[in-house]
Structure 1
C-alpha cells in the first residue's frame, strides 16, 4: 500500500513539474515575441513641450520606467526610476547615448539588447506624453 501511495505521489509530482515547465516555456516565448515586436520610432523633439514626462515599457521579464526632462526641445536628463532585468543592467548606459544623440534612434548595448529596447521604448513613451497637441 505504501509503495502504491509513493508511486502515485511521484507521478503527481512529475505532472506538476511538467505543468510548471510548460507554463514557463510559454511565458518565455511570449516575452521573446514582445521584445522582438518592439519598434522604436524617433520622436520629433520640436513637438515636445518643456517639462518632465514619465514613460514605461513592460514585457514581463524586463520592465523600465523613466522620467525624461525636456527643455527648449532638448532632452536635458533621463532618470531610470525602475529597471527590472535579468542580465541587462549594462543597458542602463543607453540613457547617456540618448542624451548625447538627442535621439532615441541609437544602437542598443551589446549583451543587453532586450533591456536596451525596453528602456528606449520607455523613453519613447515619455516623449510621446510630452508631444504638443
Structure 2
C-alpha cells in the first residue's frame, strides 16, 4: 500500500513538472513572438476603398479587427476580438490610428504587448487593401 502511494505521489509530481515545463515553453514562445513582431507604417493614401479584416495571434494575446477605408482614409476600425490578460486599455489605440491616419501611434503603458498585437492586426488588414 505504501509503495502504491509513493508511486502515485511520484506520478503526480512528474505530471506537475511536465505541465510546468510546458507552460514555461509557451510563455517563452509568446515572449519571442511579441519581441519579433514588427509593425510597418502603411501609406493610407494608397488604400483601395473597402472593408478589410486582419488578425494577429501571439498565443496569450489574440486580436481581430475590421478596418473600413474610403477615399484613401481609414474611416473606422471595429474590434471583433481581443483576447488579452490586462491589455484592454490598449484598445484606445484603434481610435488614435483613425485620428492620426497612421500606424505610428504610441503603445499604451501597461498594455504594450496588446498595443503591438492590435497594431499588427490593423496592418494585416490594411495590407489587403493596398492598390
Which bracket does the TM-score occupy, shorter chain normalised?
over 0.9
* TM-score (ref. length: structure 1): 0.97
2-side partners of 1:78 and 1:65: how far apart? 10
**Alpha-carbon displacement from aligned partner over 1:32-74 (angstroms, at most 9, x marks no partner):** 0000111110011121101100000000100000000011111
Moved over 4 A (4+): none
In structure 1, the partner of 2:112 is 113
In structure 1, the partner of 2:30 is 31
* TM-score (ref. length: structure 2): 0.98
**Alpha-carbon displacement from aligned partner over 1:68-121 (angstroms, at most 9, x marks no partner):** 001111110000000011110111111111111100111101000000100000
Q: Secondary structure at the residue paired with 2:12?
A: helix
1-side partners of 2:127 and 2:71: how far apart? 16
Structure 2, unaligned runs of 5 or more = none
